[in-house]
Amino acid sequence: MKFGPVPLSEAEGAILAHSIALAGCRLRKGQRLDAADIAALAAAGHKDIIAARLEPGDVHEDAAAWRLAAAVAGASSPLPEDAAVTALARARGLRLEPPFTGRVNLRAEAAGVLVVDAGAVDAVNAVDPLLTFATAAPWARVRAGQMVATVKVIAYAVAGANLAEAERRARGALRVAPFRPGTAALVQTAVPGQAPALHRKGRAVTEARLAPLGWRLVADEVVPHEL
């Protein structure tokens, strides 16, 4: 990837490095410039712009982030269709969000425990400073929809060879082990004169703790407390 000042005459297809306000429009950082954009810049008096230009073998940040996230979810290379990637991710308890500005967030499909190959995470982050992979703590309890990991391409593109190596190291590095639904019974003890409201509160607290695990309280018995 080449980065720096680019004459407008050579800027078509380049990726804009910073936003530029023009009359009636705004060119956004990260936008790939087309002929109309170049004409608008020229009309505004610009002679050159700061931009990134991909070289042979480079992979655009959004495509690279999607590929790396898909590998984390277990996808093989070459990358299958998006629908297949989604199915693979769900089988591992994960949901991949669409790439945006070189980032893909991974969320838990259901409540469970996050299983992380910490060695694989470190190995991915050692490939290229432009590629990052971060997760929540291993063995953390996660809720449905919670973000559990993210991959980010720091620059506008990354070398394809480095991305391929990161994919290899990341493959299957993350999953959510979902909680298995079940039922539970609660036994509470009572001393003489104890208010029944305490037992009702105990039941409510216990039900609230079980619900995120997918468990139901099906029995609740109060018995005398004996020392």
Residue 45, both tokens: 């008096």
Please list, in sequence order, all residues whose beta carbon lies within 8 angstroms of the beta carbon of residue 18, skipping any fewer than 6 positions away: 29, 50
CB 185 within 8 A of CB 151: no
- Give CA separation, 154 vs 35, 60, 190, in Å: 27, 11, 60
The C-alpha atoms of residue 86 and residue 30 are separated, in whole angstroms, by 26
CB 32 within 8 A of CB 15: yes
Return per-residue pLDDT of the chain as tens, 227 residues. 778 888 888 888 888 888 888 887 888 888 888 888 888 888 888 888 888 888 889 999 999 999 999 999 999 877 778 889 999 999 999 999 999 989 999 999 999 999 999 999 999 999 999 999 999 999 999 999 999 999 999 988 999 999 999 999 999 999 999 998 899 999 999 998 889 899 999 999 999 999 888 889 999 999 998 86
- Maximum Cα interatomic distance, the chain, rounded to a whole number of Å: 90
Distance of alpha carbon 156 from its chain centroid, rounded? 18
